[in-house]
Structure 1
């Protein structure tokens, strides 16, 4: 089985600005490179990874592409383009698509003071460009409430392949009412067949990130499996943020435990098959990643 970690970051504050990094993020408030992640990835049996943007600037994307060029395990890059500036976005996309690693786009829309930014007409033009170019869109949220936008986005852009990062930040460790509210929102999103989701970043919703257990996460993973099915879900280890939540090994082992009841084909879909298909990962890059893992 080819295991693809569909959500990993690298960053370097010397090469690109990351406004959200700071002392509160210690010990990851520093350059975090692929070489730092490799031991944990190999111990988990991860064959390939998808690098996902961590800042709304070209320098972060350029850093990811430089990492991909020197590490065969990196088979895909989710870049950044200015979705609210369609002219600039079109030009940047044209340049990025020359690199076979580039499969999609993400923007830190959850940090914008306007909670409805993603629905603005200028951003809509940018999303239409992604659909036209065959690029995916990673939708990141800071709370379940932002999931309410997904059905509207899917209706406006039916050709756009959209993936919800971290299952839309469910209330892990919260109460029954909070879970029910999240489930209603994620269920509405899952009714659109082009919408996928990542089983990633499932940390405590309040207090320390590491104050979670696999049993607290279980109901949200079970809901996601019921609503999306394994072939619309993909595993993501969320390194290096996962280091703040108990470490990559803990995240990986919890995911393996929660997926254990699935039959082998369904488990293989969540752990790699869905990501390969959704992101349309280049077959040659996947072969190179498998060769490097031998």
Structure 2
């Protein structure tokens, strides 16, 4: 099974997205499942995972409703208020009754406090999340958040986590450090996974190719192993620097040289097991 483990939908008429404004240009509009469907099928993708675009119940309900109507959506990563553990627990009781509810994410990079995710009350919320067996998508945007992943792994050892977008490495600058050291440190914890996603928008938007992505993907494979890595398109954000097909094709080119088993893991098997996709 081939899986796109990270894509988004948003409807500007149904849900408020304060972060998304006119400055985002071509992605400042509604993006919904019918627009993506043919592109997913053309790439040979069997299932996708829709990831939250806002810290709100409205967004989570919108995603669940959408997922119920398209068989190629394998699940959604929603939201609960991790800084309010009691409420988070109550909402998890509700959401986990829906088999399409697969994970939780919070837009930690939108918080004014760069250390928000390691606040005491958030750690307690993450312990509640772990008790439900639900994984956490970490928006570990380098350099503010990736460094916190080892802390989370130690404070909440039962929590499975996945680092979105390899924490946005400095691809455009063609540099590795200190991103590489921080990623390697996070990879030391077996419950931490990472997504090979969102890399095209970390590169030069006009000229990027598989050759730009390859050193960063190879480093991630070296540190995590393919069985803890998963592909994601990051559509529609990815359209700022290309289109769905280019992201799919160039990622596949960047994986050339790996074994068939490793490629199959990154392009589907890891995501199926991590998110329990049926």
Query: What corresponds to 1:168 in structure 2?
Result: 167
| Structure 1 unmatched runs, 5+ | 284-294
Query: What corresponds to 1:238 in structure 2?
Result: 234
Query: What corresponds to 2:158 in structure 1?
Result: 159
Q: Would you say the 8 A contact 1:78–1:106 is kept in 2?
A: yes
Give TM-score, length-normalised by structure 2. 0.97
Return the offset for 1:266.
Answer: 1.2
Answering whether residue 202 of structure 2 is matched by residue 228 of structure 1, we say: no
Return the offset for 1:198.
Answer: 0.1
Query: What corresponds to 1:25 in structure 2?
Result: 24
Q: Would you say the 8 A contact 2:201–2:238 is kept in 1?
A: no
Query: What corresponds to 1:117 in structure 2?
Result: 116
Return the offset for 1:245.
Answer: 1.3
| Structure 2 unmatched runs, 5+ | none
Return the offset for 1:116.
Answer: 0.3
Q: Secondary structure at the match of 1:103?
A: strand
Indicate the RMSD between aligned Cα atoms, in angstroms: 1.3
Query: What corresponds to 1:291 in structure 2?
Result: none
Query: What corresponds to 2:149 in structure 1?
Result: 150
C-alpha change, 1:252 and 1:95, in structure 2 (3 Å) is same
Aligned length: 278
C-alpha change, 1:136 and 1:260, in structure 2 (3 Å) is same
Return the offset for 1:260.
Answer: 2.0
Q: Would you say the 8 A contact 1:141–1:147 is kept in 2?
A: yes
CA distance in 2, matches of 1:279, 1:163: 10
CA distance in 1, matches of 2:210, 2:63: 31
Deviations 1:158-186 (A, max 9, x none): 1100000000110012143xx12111000
C-alpha change, 1:261 and 1:175, in structure 2 (3 Å) is closer
Return the offset for 1:26.
Answer: 2.4
Q: Secondary structure at the match of 1:260?
A: coil
Flag as ranges the 4+ runs of structure 1 deviating above 6 A.
none
Q: How does 1:264-283 map to 2 (within 5 A)?
A: 264-281=260-277, 283=278
